[in-house]
Amino acid sequence: MEYSKSSKCHLFLLIIVFYVVSGANFMQLSSDQASLLAFKAGIVADPKHALETWNASSTQVCNWLGVHCDKKSGRVVELDLSHHSLQGTISPFLSNLSYLEILDLSQNLFHGYIPQELGTLFQLRQLSLSSNLLEGNIPSQFGSLRQLVYLDLGSNKLTGEIPMPHLCNGSSSLQYIDLSNNSLTGKVPLKNECVLRELKFLLLWSNQLVGEVPAALSNSTRLEWLDMESNSLRGELPSNIVYKMPHLQFLYLSYNHFRSHNGNTDLKPFFSSLANSSNLQELELAGNHLGGELPSVIGNLSTNLVQIHLDDNHIYGPIPREISNLVNLTLLNLSSNLLNGSIRTELCQLQKLERLYLSNNSFSGTIPTEFGNVLHLGLLDLSKNKLSGTIPDSFANLSQLRRLFLYENDLSGMIPPSLGNCINLEILDLSHNGITGNIPSEVAGLSSLKLYLNLSSNHLDGPIPLELSKMDMVLAVDLSSNNLSSTIPSQLGSCIALEYLNLSSNHLQGDLPPSIGHLPYLKGLDVSFNLLTGEIPQTLEGSTTLVQLNFSYNNFSGNVTNKGAFSSLTIGSFLGNPGLCGSLIGMPNCHRKRTHHFPMAMLVSLIVAAIIFMVGYPIILKSKFGRHLAVASAKDTESEEKENKELNLPRISYNQLIEATGGFSSSSLIGSGQFGHVYKGTLTDNTCIAVKVLTPIAAGEISGSFKRECEVLRRTRHRNLIRIKTICSRPDFKALVLPLMPNGSLENHLYPSPEMKHGLDLIQLVSICNDVAEGMAYLHHHSPVKVVHCDLKPSNILLDVDMTAMVTDFGISRLIKGVDEHTSINDSASFSSTQGLLCGSVGYIAPEYGMGRRASTQGDVYSYGVLLLEIVTGKRPTDVLFQEGSSLHEWVKSFYPNKFQPIVEEAVMRLSPSYAPPITNDQSKRWREVILEMLELGLICTQYNPSTRPTMLDIAHEVGQLKEYLSCSSSQLIEEDPTELRLDIGYQQFVVTL
């Protein structure tokens, strides 16, 4: 084919244009690559190795993790590296990604300033830098981002004012703005001429903003979520603004300085303005000191309302009966106001109500018996009012009730025994009333109580019920300032979780039982102002946990030493006991009477006792258990064999377990949990075992717990998970037989007794944390049936002969069969908030469980985070709860990030090995780095929002690196031949000389 001269010229020009355009595209792509590599250069730590694929030799940037390109131009349009724990600064070279539409670097550890150059990314539609450590001002250049729809800078350390162009740039495209949880100051810079018509979410909570809610916000008629709580905003409640927001669903204005209308006397205009918001679900106005009566128009609010928070204000008058129109309400908080009158029975028409707070008001009259009809009620707080009459029997209908607070009222009559039907009750506080009569055995036997029982300052009489010993999970019991008589039952020693016991100001007599001194966690004991006699038990002196003791004004006698738990006490703990003597300052010295007969009498007594024990005990044991062993039915034997056969396990009979544990004697008891007791034993072949015997709280619960634990233990195979030996199952008895861990539980080592030579050092603890993380990661991600443990804590971590950690106690675990873990956390259908309160132990329970969320792997991550913080700080989470009034997470967070030094230094001293030479300066530096990493990881794991927590796979990887890092530094203590080891952690290289 021949071409004309003209055609050849055209073809030549086309070729030239093609190469010019191709070259330009190539240069642009090279520019994108250079910008990304410059960003990577600012990363100092990449724990997840997210940027491994990012290197100069790979020109295909569109295949790099987190990078997405436009199909036509090939230019980078999206960079999403959220949730990768990246550390470093944000490079201004990202501004060269001129086609970028989405930039998401949230949920990392970036620090430093936000580059103002990002304001030149004019195509940007979504920018998220939330949950980092960024500081400084918000760049005013962001006002040039006219295409921006989504902006999230929340949960950083940003300061200064919100730039005017930020909210007023002539653009109406913004739909989502989150600047919350920073330290921003000044007013909200939204002028009247600024119109954000597309805005749906405005989150400014937890800053230092002042002024009034800007009137221009009324132009944002599509707003669904407005959160301005925890600032210093002033002025009248914004009635004229919210009136124009028909789509409003969430309104949070708590903890500011707002006032109601007409000089803080009229709430009606504001509640009337909300009647137009037909989709309103949550309303929070707490902590504003709002005045006025609660208007009847509150009944005109959306029937979609599920939560109302009006606590900590100056609202007065009665509760309007129209509140019963809010039929979907699950939480109503009117506490700490000036409300009066009787408690409306109309409240009891709210059939979906789960939590009701009416405390610290001036309500009078009786407690409505109709509360017994609110079957979903899980928390009822009527404390600190002027209520009279008796406690309604109808409370027995509240099977979901977890927490009942009636203290500081004028209640009279007896405690209804029917309260014992509330089998899920965790807290019962009836203190400071005028209640009379005995403590019902049904109430004393509430084994579900696991926080506290407070019946103090009443007129109760009679003995302390023996059934109180069934409360083996309760943390505190206060029966002080009553008229209780008789003796203190020794069975209280069975309340093995007890930390505080107050029996003061009663008429108790007799000896103080030594069994109380054996309580493994007891920290406070007050028996003052009673009629107790005899010697103070030596078991109390030997306690390793007791710190608060008061024996004053009794009739105790004998010698008091200044050793053990008594070493920190003064004479003030023993006043009013003229028969006491000892070495404490202010106490008379003891005068010993010499006698030649005493040593001989003691010797004879010991010999006789030994003969009786050797001859009589086997006879007693045989008599006690022989008959029971003989009548074991063939049906029971068949049941044992059937279940063991199904699980492919060897058979150990019920009789053998009785013989191995001495009849499940108290001396064999080594632990107790929500669903059972654990005994140590030895089989006839000298095999040491641990027997977990399930305690029947309710037949259904025990059956379910037993089957769950068997199912989990049968299907899991991992070196860091306890292995089942066999089971013993009969209609009246169910037990798991496990290998006995010779080194006990982690809790025993975190809080060692004086006879232990030393606790665990940091190297051992990090290794244990790694073992636990590996075991939990297997349960969450690799087990044949996904498992949520639900009760991860130190006492459920056992240590074998090599100090390898094994996770145990799956009694309340949830099996997730083929369900994605994220699905379970968001799906709260048919699952009330009260059910969530069961998922774990106090101090380790994830906060979302208290709000109705399902048990989830994120809940286990929270418990693991508490475990890390507990190990580093040396504080039990319950200690912080009782002493500081906050969670361990909040207590540690209050020191973050610049006040960690005292915690770190204390941890280095406490966790240094006492059996080896002192650590070197280099090792000390490494230890401080690891402790700091553990603190930060603990805080990340215990974040309030479960979706922001890492997975157990991430945690196992991170703690594994810490273990490697520490083991290299510690190996200097044992290696003799010097070598050199290079260790990469993230993108840092450490050279260790061994």
* Highest-scoring range by mean pLDDT, 70-74, 332-336, 844-848, 974-978: 332-336
d(CA 436, CA 457): 11
pLDDT higher than threshold 70 for residue 839 = no
Structure token digits, residue 409: 């009222």
Which CATH number goes with the domain that contains 475?
A: 3.80.10.10
Mean pLDDT over 716-735 rounds to 76
In this structure, is residue 661 part of a structural domain? yes
Per-residue pLDDT of 27-41, as tens digits, reads: 455 789 999 999 999
Query: What per-residue confidence (pLDDT) applies to 233?
Result: 96
pLDDT higher than threshold 90 for residue 266 = yes
Query: What per-residue confidence (pLDDT) applies to 906?
Result: 86
Mean pLDDT over 895-911 rounds to 81
Cβ burial 719-758 (10 Å sphere, 16+ → b, else e): ebbbebbbbbbbeeebbbbbbbbebebbbbbbbeeeeeee
Instruction: Name the pLDDT band for 320 (thresholds 50, 70, 90).
Output: very high
- Identify whether 771 is a catalytic site residue: no
pLDDT higher than threshold 90 for residue 766 = yes
Whether residues 943 and 798 share a domain: the answer is yes
Greater model confidence, 901 or 117: 117
Query: Residue 108: which of 39, 48, 158 has the closest Cα?
Result: 48
Whether residues 693 and 722 share a domain: the answer is yes
pLDDT higher than threshold 50 for residue 105 = yes
Mean pLDDT over 868-873 rounds to 92
Within 10 A of 871 (CB to CB), how many other CB atoms are there?
Answer: 23
Residue 352, annotated ligand binder? no
Contact 53, 64 (CB under 8 A): yes
Which CATH number goes with the domain that contains 722?
A: 3.30.200.20
Mapping DSSP to helix (H, G, I), strand (E, B) and coil, where does residue 782 land? helix
Domains held by the chain: number: 3
pLDDT higher than threshold 70 for residue 148 = yes
- Name 546's Cβ contacts closer than 8 Å, sequence gap at least 6: 522, 523, 524, 525, 540, 565
**Domain end: 740, 763, 780, which one?**
740
Mean pLDDT over 104-124 rounds to 93
Query: What per-residue confidence (pLDDT) applies to 835?
Result: 37
d(CA 192, CA 211): 15
High-pLDDT (> 90) share of the chain, %: 45
Whether residues 701 and 763 share a domain: the answer is no
d(CA 540, CA 194): 71
pLDDT higher than threshold 50 for residue 979 = no
- Mean pLDDT, the chain, whole residue set: 80
Whether residues 657 and 754 share a domain: the answer is no
Q: List phi, psi (to 5°) of 9.
A: -65, -45
Query: What per-residue confidence (pLDDT) applies to 829?
Result: 26
Per-residue pLDDT of 530-553, as tens digits, reads: 999 999 999 998 888 898 899 999
Query: What per-residue confidence (pLDDT) applies to 66?
Result: 92
d(CA 292, CA 71): 61
DSSP string, 124-147: --EEE--SSEEEEPPPGGGGG-TT
Query: What per-residue confidence (pLDDT) applies to 916?
Result: 54
Per-residue pLDDT of 648-706, as tens digits, reads: 456 778 888 888 888 877 777 777 665 667 888 888 888 888 888 876 543 344 455 55
Mean pLDDT over 378-384 rounds to 94
DSSP 8-state class, residue 593: P
d(CA 662, CA 704): 28
pLDDT higher than threshold 70 for residue 342 = yes
Of 46, 526, 636, 791, the catalytic one is 791
- Name 70's Cβ contacts closer than 8 Å, sequence gap at least 6: 77, 99
In this structure, is residue 518 part of a structural domain? yes
In this structure, is residue 252 part of a structural domain? no
Whether residues 772 and 669 share a domain: the answer is no
Whether residues 676 and 767 share a domain: the answer is no
Instruction: Name the pLDDT band for 840 (thresholds 50, 70, 90).
Output: low
In the sheet where 43-45 sits, what is the strand order?
43-45, 87-88, 109-113, 133-136, 157-158
Which CATH number goes with the domain that contains 766?
A: 1.10.510.10
Name the amino acid, one letter, at 355: R
Structure token digits, residue 105: 């670097």
In this structure, is residue 895 part of a structural domain? yes
Q: Outline where 687-800 has alpha helix (H).
A: 699-715, 746-750, 762-777
Query: What per-residue confidence (pLDDT) applies to 683?
Result: 84
Mean pLDDT over 599-609 rounds to 46
Whether residues 772 and 879 share a domain: the answer is yes
* Highest-scoring range by mean pLDDT, 19-28, 108-117, 159-168: 108-117
Least confident of 15-29, 240-254, 658-672, 699-713: 15-29
Instruction: Name the pLDDT band for 920 (thresholds 50, 70, 90).
Output: low
In this structure, is residue 390 part of a structural domain? no
Structure token digits, residue 277: 């918001």
Mean pLDDT over 326-342 rounds to 94
**Residue 429: enclosing H or E segment and its boundaries?**
strand 427-429
In this structure, is residue 717 part of a structural domain? yes
Give the pairing of strands 109-113 and 76-80. unpaired
Instruction: Name the pLDDT band for 497 (thresholds 50, 70, 90).
Output: confident
Whether residues 685 and 805 share a domain: the answer is no
**Domain end: 713, 740, 767, which one?**
740
Instruction: Name the pLDDT band for 241 (thresholds 50, 70, 90).
Output: very high
Whether residues 862 and 950 share a domain: the answer is yes
Contact 366, 386 (CB under 8 A): no
d(CA 414, CA 409): 14
pLDDT higher than threshold 60 for residue 493 = yes
pLDDT higher than threshold 50 for residue 19 = no
In this structure, is residue 787 part of a structural domain? yes
- Name 867's Cβ contacts closer than 8 Å, sequence gap at least 6: 769, 772, 792, 793, 794, 844, 938
Whether residues 692 and 809 share a domain: the answer is no
Whether residues 765 and 736 share a domain: the answer is no
Query: What per-residue confidence (pLDDT) applies to 993?
Result: 27
Residues of the domain holding 545:
461-585
* Dihedral sign of CA atoms 75, 81, 87, 92 in order: positive
d(CA 374, CA 371): 5
Whether residues 712 and 761 share a domain: the answer is no
Using only the alpha carbons of the chain, give its radius of gyration.
34
- DSSP lists the bridge partners of residue 251 as 226, 283
Name the amino acid, one letter, at 902: P
**Residue 202: enclosing H or E segment and its boundaries?**
strand 201-203
* Dihedral sign of CA atoms 8, 10, 11, 16 in order: positive
Query: What per-residue confidence (pLDDT) applies to 948?
Result: 79
d(CA 245, CA 218): 7
Give the pairing of strands 797-799 and 176-178. unpaired
**Domain end: 553, 585, 617, which one?**
585
High-pLDDT (> 70) share of the chain, %: 79
d(CA 127, CA 850): 32
In this structure, is residue 555 part of a structural domain? yes
Greater model confidence, 158 or 14: 158
